[in-house]
């Protein structure tokens, strides 16, 4: 049985962008939420 790795990132600043970039290389699902 495979465990799916899921992450959610809140925010759209430079730190959130860097974290999302790292997570997309290692996680199965990455949700990125920001307001406009």
Per-residue pLDDT, 34? 92
Per-residue pLDDT, 22? 92
Per-residue pLDDT, 26? 83
DSSP string, 12-31: -SHHHHHHHHHHHHH-SEEE
pTM of the predicted model as reported, rounded to 2 decimal places: 0.67
Per-residue pLDDT, 5? 81
Per-residue pLDDT, 14? 93
Residues 16 and 30: beta-carbon distance below 8 Å: no
Per-residue pLDDT, 17? 93
Residues 33 and 9: beta-carbon distance below 8 Å: yes
For the segment 10-32, what is each residue's pLDDT rounded down to a tens digit? 999 999 999 999 998 888 899 99
Structure tokens at 12: 């759209």
Question: Where on the phi/psi map is residue 11: left (φ > 0), alpha (ψ -120 to 50), or beta?
Answer: left
């Amino acid at each position: 049985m495979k465990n799916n790795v899921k992450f959610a990132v809140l925010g759209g600043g430079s730190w959130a962008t860097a974290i999302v970039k790292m997570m997309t290389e290692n996680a199965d699902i990455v949700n990125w939420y920001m307001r406009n």
